[in-house]
Amino acid sequence: MVGFAENPQPGPDLARMSVVRLAQMGASHTSCTDLVAVEAPLEIRLHGRPAAVLMRTPGGFAQDRELILGFLFCEGVINQPGQVLDIEQVADLPPDAMEGTVVDLRLDTPSRGRGIDRFFYSTSSCGACGKRSIQSLAVGGGTHLGGGKVAPALIFEILADARNHQTLFSQTGGVHASGLYSATGVLVALREDVGRHNALDKVIGASLLAGILPLSGHLLAISGRVGYEIIQKAAMAAIPIIAAVGAPTSLAIKLAEEHGITLIGFARNGGMNVYSHPGRVCES
């Protein structure tokens, strides 16, 4: 049962918490422990100056690095990993501070960091939090993306495969996932996080490190709903097709149409809604 895993040992992305479990309409209860997804702040400093705080699920330094690179790429601060010369963990949090991680980044040029609206704060639920104006929400990226046609059967296959790879969700029920697939349905990268936008940042960061950006020949599987922040990041990475098991928002549909992205929602139980650029979806 999701949310009541007993055996796995907690790592950086899991915590074991006390819980009172009720059964039979509350007629009986037991005290036990439950595995939950970790949510903790990651403070990013650029050359010693605070620039952003991301509420994320830590997965160790490797995933934090992917998250940082993906976030900076999607914010237009960098376009290649070599522009971040060093990521150093800083241990100067005060004793009463929320448990988290502070990293100091050294960029190839300090002026590059001006692309972030100081001070940027991103919650687990919203990747746009911290923006200071409506104008700063403008979405970059291409408007004429590549990507060939895809059969509906392949959409269902990648969503089912993504679900099978959601280990942390199976243990906690408390995270989202973004899965990147090739045009033939081969898994390239899948990441989980309490924030769906963080999961996508991690995937984009991993792609940046692998040198495969732009992602014009790929498909993106999303575990939940699709909002503004998913389209914004997909547009920056030139991902042409997004398939989700949940619903899109009105702004997500509008932006997907504007940026040439095929947006698929409610892809489950043998059916789907194609909200934008339906020409890429066809029967094989």
On average, the pLDDT of the chain sits at: 87
Tell me which of 274 and 30 has the higher pLDDT: 274
- Within-domain flag for 2: no
- Within-domain flag for 13: no
Check whether residue 194 and residue 256 sit in a common domain: yes
Q: What is the CATH number of the domain that holds 262?
A: 3.40.140.10
CA angle 271, 273, 279 (to 5 degrees): 110
Tell me which of 96 and 230 has the higher pLDDT: 230
What is the C-alpha to C-alpha distance for residues 42 and 62, in angstroms, rounded to an integer?
A: 13
Question: Is 126 known to be catalytic?
Answer: yes
Sequential DSSP letters for 46-74: ETTEEEEEEEE----HHHHHHHHHHHHHH
Exposed, middle or buried: residue 72 (CB in 10 Å: 0-12, 13-18, 19+)? buried
pLDDT value of residue 4:
37
How many Cβ atoms are within 10 Å of 273's Cβ, its own excluded? 14
Q: For 38-66, how does the pLDDT look when each residue is reduced to its tens digit (9 = 90+)?
A: 999 999 999 998 889 999 999 899 999 99
pLDDT bracket for residue 77 (50, 70, 90): very high
- Within-domain flag for 68: yes
Check whether residue 219 and residue 163 sit in a common domain: yes
Q: Which of 103, 109, 68, 92 is nearest to 209 (CA)?
A: 68
Assess contact for 248 and 224: CB atoms under 8 A: no
What is the C-alpha to C-alpha distance for residues 227 and 143, in angstroms, rounded to an integer?
A: 18
pLDDT value of residue 281:
94
Q: Is the pLDDT of residue 1 over 50?
A: no
Q: For 228-273, how does the pLDDT look when each residue is reduced to its tens digit (9 = 90+)?
A: 999 999 999 999 999 999 999 999 999 999 999 999 999 999 999 9
Q: For 125-162, how does the pLDDT look when each residue is reduced to its tens digit (9 = 90+)?
A: 676 565 554 444 455 665 556 778 999 999 999 999 99
What is the C-alpha to C-alpha distance for residues 204 and 198, in angstroms, rounded to an integer?
A: 10
**Domain, as residue range, for 82:** 40-137
Q: For 66-76, how does the pLDDT look when each residue is reduced to its tens digit (9 = 90+)?
A: 999 999 999 99
pLDDT value of residue 9:
57
- Distance in Å from the first CA to the final CA of the chain: 37
Please tell me the total count of domains within the chain. Answer: 2
Q: For 30-41, how does the pLDDT look when each residue is reduced to its tens digit (9 = 90+)?
A: 899 899 999 999
What is the C-alpha to C-alpha distance for residues 127 and 131, in angstroms, rounded to an integer?
A: 9
- Among 84, 114, 137, which residue terminates a domain? 137
Q: Is the pLDDT of residue 118 over 80?
A: no
- Within-domain flag for 220: yes
pLDDT value of residue 133:
47
Catalytic residue among 32, 74, 126, 129: 126
pTM comes to 0.88
Mean pLDDT of 178-184: 97
Assess contact for 162 and 223: CB atoms under 8 A: yes
